[in-house]
Copies of this chain bind each other. A is one copy, B any other.
Amino acid sequence: MGKNPTKRLAILNSAEHVFAERGFHEATISDIAAGAKVSDATIYEYFPSKEALLFAIPAEYSLNFQEQNRYVLKYINGQANKLRAIVLRLLELYQDHPEYANVIIMILKTSRKFTETNEYDVIRQSAQLMRKIIEDGMASGEFRSDLNPAIVRSMMLGTIEHLVVRKAILGKPENLVEQADSVVSVLFNGVLEPPEESAIKINLTLQKKTRGQDGQAEIKDSE
């Protein structure tokens, strides 16, 4: 079993690059080996199989990512702000490491097997962190108490992943991080124009004796 950590990292980096470029099946061990300037056989000194090599990629990243998250979150007050921070950090991560983004999304979407892996734990922990923040926010009254935390988390991750994939395929949102606040804004406040009704309804009620009516129809179906 190979022990040289530099070589191991070179292989992982090359793998990330090649997998991202061509996808898992189109990528060949030879490509990866060439990129890492080692022989094909050497790859097998460090990783037992092509698939294991793929699965090893997120571990490296996520561990780091996770730790820094914990570090950063300590200094942030309020669950909403924490959630916002996580959205930002994820978009940053994917923006700065588009090849890693491709790999992660390929893995998560393509490989059922991955979820049965130890390597998946890091991902799982990240998800649990988000869940905890949401639950804390619900408990503290910061978030609505009728939320389904799993759904909220899916919204966050799903949205981010969708944006990342769009970027990967269409190149469209040039800068992912800049989208963060749009995302957070909708996530926090929703898309609806807030119901201005209350005030106005009461007005109407109170203004008895006015003659002119107006605008009620619209007001009513403001839901």
Report chain B residues within 8 Å CB of A166: 154
Which one of A80, A154, A166 has the highest number of Cβ atoms from chain B below 10 Å of its Cβ?
Answer: A154
Residues of chain B contacted by A35 (CB below 8 angstroms): none
Can you list, as one digit per residue, whether each of A28-39 has a CB less than 8 Å from chain B (1) or not (0)?
000000000000
A148 to B172, CA, bound (A): 14
| B212 and A199 contact, CB distance less than 8 A | no
Q: Among A3-11, A41-49, A54-62, A156-164, which stretch is in contact with chain B?
A: A156-164
Contact partner of A169 (CB less than 8 A), chosen from B112, B150, B203, B210, is B112
Instruction: Tell me how many chains of this kind the complex includes.
Output: 4
Contact partner of A191 (CB less than 8 A), chosen from B24, B144, B214, is B144
Q: Which of A163-208 contact B (CB under 8 A)?
A: 163, 165-166, 168-170, 172-173, 179, 182-183, 185-208
Please tell me if A106 contacts chain B, counting CB pairs below 8 Å.
yes
* Cα A157 to Cα B186 with chains together (Å): 14
**In the complex, are the beta carbons of A189 and B151 less than 8 A apart?**
no
| Candidates B165, B191, B202; contact of A215 at CB < 8 Å | B202
B205 touches A206 (CB 8 A): no
Q: Are B210 and A222 in contact (CB under 8 A)?
A: no
A68 in the interface (beta carbon within 8 A) = no
B198 touches A215 (CB 8 A): yes
**B residues within 8 A CB of A52?**
none
- Measured between alpha carbons, how far is A223 from B83 in the docked complex, in Å? 14
Q: Is there a chain B Cβ closer than 8 Å to A72's Cβ? A: no
Whether a CB of chain B sits under 8 angstroms from the CB of A67 is no
Given contacts A170-B115, A187-B190, A192-B143, contact A200 B197 (CB under 8 A): no
Q: What are 6 sample pairs from A and B whose C-beta atoms fall under 8 A apart?
A: A137-B191, A154-B166, A155-B186, A195-B221, A198-B202, A206-B210
